[in-house]
Amino acid sequence: MKKIIALYPGTFDPITNGHLDIIERASSLFDRVIVTIALNSSKKPLFSEDERKEMILQELKKHKNVEVGAFRGLLVEYAKKKKASVIIRGLRAISDYEYEFQMALTNRKISPEVTTMFMMPNEKYTYLNSTLVKELAAFKGNIKCFVPKFVEKKLREKFKNRL
Ligand code: COA
């Protein structure tokens, strides 16, 4: 039987409980899941590639079939390189839909052998994003319910000497 490899791409600056929710769902459906950090996004990440990897890896220990990767360039090219046939994206709200629809169809046009699949995280994470968490952390707000412990520690360190 062919093993199904899925990529879960994103900026992960940093990984949040919402991302982990999707990873958990994906891990139970696919043979291998590669949490894939996009390095050439137009965003200016707070955390370096290594820092983001470290935070993700810390949380992946309990999932034997999940690993972490990173890429520059086109996502579908990375999928080909990794022999992945599925791209997973989380859909949190209707506002995600238009952008995701455009991206999924573009990726399908340039690489029909790769299928994008959407998953909904638990509703308690539907309003969450990494920017929100960083803003809260920057102003010393409570982020315990949004990120795992290790990520919370890293965010605290980052913003220790700011403000
Ligand atoms: N829980 C919590 N937050 C979530 C989430 C979830 N389940 N799913 C997404 N988010 C948040 C992210 O934290 C992120 O927050 P931020 O904007 O504050 O940083 C935001 O939603 C969306 O980001 P993300 O899922 O990381 O996607 P992205 O838009 O940054 O990245 C890529 C999209 C990188 C996958 C896409 O641009 C890509 O593939 N680029 C490579 C180039 C390419 O191939 N282009 C052609 C595609 S058409």
Instruction: Supply the mean pLDDT for the chain.
Output: 95
Query: Average pLDDT in the 31-41 region?
Result: 94
Q: Nearest-CA neighbor of 6 among 20, 21, 23, 18?
A: 23
The verdict on the CB of residue 128 being under 6 Å from ligand 1 is yes
Look at residue 118 and give its three-state secondary structure: strand
CB-side neighbour CA atoms (13 Å) of 161 = 0
Test site for ligand 1: of 20, 24, 27, 41, most ligand atoms within 8 A of the Cβ: 41
pLDDT of residue 25 exceeding 70, the answer is yes
pLDDT of residue 68 exceeding 80, the answer is yes
pLDDT value at position 163?
57
Of the chain, the end-to-end C-alpha distance in Å amounts to: 55
The verdict on the CB of residue 95 being under 6 Å from ligand 1 is no
Q: How far apart are CA 119 and CA 104, in angstroms?
A: 13
| Residues belonging to the active site | 19, 43, 92, 130
pLDDT value at position 7?
98
Query: Average pLDDT in the 134-148 region?
Result: 96
Q: Nearest-CA neighbor of 18 among 108, 96, 73, 78?
A: 96
Given strand 86-90, what is the order of strands in its sheet? 66-71, 32-38, 5-10, 86-90, 115-119
What share of the chain in percent tops pLDDT 90? 88
What share of the chain in percent tops pLDDT 70? 99
pTM, entire model: 0.94
Render pLDDT for 99-135 as a digit per residue (tens, 0 to 9). Answer: 999 999 999 999 999 999 999 999 999 999 999 999 9
**Domains defined along the chain, listed by start:** 5-125 (3.40.50.620)
DSSP β-ladder status, 66-71 and 32-38: parallel
